[in-house]
């Protein structure tokens, strides 16, 4: 893809266009860089901007999970975004929690700072299967519904109430870590469905030595532009306060037409597709604010829809492996990769995991679900590859 492909998903005049430019000499996928910055902007705005989505109120807080192989740049993208905190006044900075915590510990932290980012470079090390952490996932799930208040009793039976909690979770993970380490209630209780999940497979580019990628003058110019762009971040956070709405009927019609024609996914993806509308609105709000606008235009919505579609294009690859059959189907998809394979080859490769008969059933299921395509020679390939 050309270097500016992601910019075509961003409205003209968006601060995010300039933000992507200052990281052009870096390796992480562009989508990681963009969505991490969007999540951080939403975390800094918190409840100061809202969309009346009767009977629910939507805030621009964008819980984001970056999925990809180790070393691709998940934590790097998050920490690149966190550099923006250097340009936020100390009194206005959201809290930041990096370490694992129990539900009780997190509730205590939030009682001191209700507007907080939870940063988890490896999500499954924060939300683990360890017994003493069992209550953390349902507690955070409640937080991410953004109630007006949340209460919890301490061990001494004292009731601690947090008013207007504004928590944003920004994390990263490999598919394997999600399968092996996340507790079962993270997938069955709607926890993951509250995240915008962005999966990438490769780095944006490979740079042996970033310091040598630019000459001295180019490097100095890049540093000046970087500071100038980051100094404008605080303007985005503070430019608008209050309820945000559609700019005009064209914007409202753009969203309505997409919402009514968008086909929700079924099965294990249904909890994710059920939240498509609110994610598109959150993305559109952030895009509007990135243009220093106090209303959502049709262009902001069209770009929000494009970004949502891009982010979720590989959701099937992330979510399928959580069931037993799904894990096996995921292995079959990995075996085929970007090429094509015969059934006998797949059976032989899968023999350490299941029987040939079960492998055939799994293949047939993937074909029926349009995940696999049968070629004229009988070989199988992944749909869209």
Q: Distance between CA 108 and CA 275 in Å, rounded?
A: 29
pLDDT digit string (tens) for 269-297? Answer: 788 889 999 999 999 999 999 999 999 99
Q: Distance between CA 101 and CA 127 in Å, rounded?
A: 9
Q: Distance between CA 153 and CA 282 in Å, rounded?
A: 32
Q: Is 368 exposed, middle or buried (0-12, 13-18, 19+ CB in 10 A)?
A: exposed
Q: Distance between CA 87 and CA 44 in Å, rounded?
A: 11
Q: Which pLDDT score, from 0 to 100, does residue 133 have?
A: 60
Residue ranges per structural domain of the chain:
5-241, 323-382
- Encoded tokens for 126: 């924060």
The reply to whether omega before 55 is within 30° of 0 (cis) is: yes
* DSSP output for 231-295: HTHHHHHHS--EE-EESSHHHHHHHHHHHHH-----GGGHHHHTTHHHHHHHHHHHHHHHTT-SE
Q: Report the share of the chain in percent with pLDDT over 90.
A: 62
* Matching CATH number, 5-241, of 1.10.10, 3.40.50, 3.10.450, 2.20.25: 3.40.50
pLDDT digit string (tens) for 41-71? Answer: 999 999 999 999 888 899 999 999 999 999 9
CATH architecture designation of domain 323-382: Orthogonal Bundle (1.10)
- Interhelix angle 298-311/249-261, nearest 10 degrees: 30
Q: With a cut of 50, say whether residue 115 has pLDDT above it.
A: yes
Give the angle subtended at the CA of 307 by the CAs of 306 and 308, to the nearest 5°: 90
- Give residues with Cβ within 8 angstroms of 36, minimum separation 6: 64, 66, 77, 78, 80, 81, 170
Local structure of residue 94 (DSSP, 8 states): P
For the chain, the first-to-last Cα distance in angstroms comes to: 15
Signed CA dihedral, 19, 20, 26, 29: sign only: positive
Q: How confident is the model at residue 181 (pLDDT cuts 50, 70, 90)?
A: low
Count CB atoms within 10 A of the CB of residue 260.
7
Q: With a cut of 70, say whether residue 3 has pLDDT above it.
A: no
Mean pLDDT computed over 335-348: 92
Say which residue, 295 or 315, is predicted with more confidence.
295
Q: What does the mean pLDDT of the chain come to?
A: 88
Range of lowest pLDDT (40-44, 79-83, 353-357): 353-357
Give the angle subtended at the CA of 279 by the CAs of 276 and 282, to the nearest 5°: 155
Q: With a cut of 80, say whether residue 96 has pLDDT above it.
A: yes
- Encoded tokens for 325: 């059959």
């Amino acid at each position: 893809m050309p270097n500016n492909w992601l910019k075509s998903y961003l409205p003209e005049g968006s601060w995010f266009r300039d933000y992507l430019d200052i990281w052009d000499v870096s390796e992480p996928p562009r989508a990681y860089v963009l969505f991490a910055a969007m999540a951080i902007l939403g975390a800094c705005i918190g409840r100061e901007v809202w969309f009346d989505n009767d009977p629910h109120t939507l805030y621009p807080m964008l819980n984001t999970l970056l999925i990809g192989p180790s070393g691709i740049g998940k934590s790097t993208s998050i920490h690149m975004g966190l550099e923006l905190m250097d340009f936020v006044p100390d009194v206005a900075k959201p809290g930041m929690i990096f370490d694992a915590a129990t539900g009780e510990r997190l509730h205590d932290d939030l009682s001191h700072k209700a507007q907080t980012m939870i940063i988890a470079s490896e999500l499954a090390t924060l939300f683990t299967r360890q017994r003493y952490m069992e209550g953390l996932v349902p507690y955070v799930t409640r937080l991410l519904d953004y109630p007006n208040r949340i209460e919890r009793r301490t061990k001494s039976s004292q009731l601690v109430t947090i008013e207007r909690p504004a928590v944003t979770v920004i994390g990263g993970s490999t598919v394997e870590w999600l399968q092996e380490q996340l507790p079962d209630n993270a997938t069955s209780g709607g926890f993951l469905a509250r995240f915008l999940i962005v999966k990438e497979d490769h780095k944006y580019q490979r740079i042996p030595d970033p310091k040598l990628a630019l000459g001295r003058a180019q490097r100095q110019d890049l540093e000046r532009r970087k500071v100038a762009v980051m100094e404008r971040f605080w303007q985005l956070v503070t430019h608008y306060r209050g309820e945000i709405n559609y700019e005009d009927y064209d914007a409202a019609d753009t969203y309505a037409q997409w919402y009514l024609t968008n086909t929700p996914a079924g099965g294990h993806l249904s909890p994710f597709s059920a939240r498509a509308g609110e994610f598109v609105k959150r993305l559109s709000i952030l895009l509007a604010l990135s243009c220093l606008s106090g209303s959502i235009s049709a262009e902001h919505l069209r770009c929000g829809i494009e970004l949502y579609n891009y982010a979720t294009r590989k959701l099937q690859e992330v979510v399928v492996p959580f069931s037993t059959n799904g894990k096996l189907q995921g292995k079959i998809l990995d075996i085929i990769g970007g090429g094509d394979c015969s059934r006998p080859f797949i059976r032989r490769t899968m023999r350490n995991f299941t029987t040939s008969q079960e492998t055939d059933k799994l293949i047939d299921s993937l074909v029926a679900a349009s995940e696999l395509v049968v070629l004229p020679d009988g070989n199988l390939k992944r749909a869209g590859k």
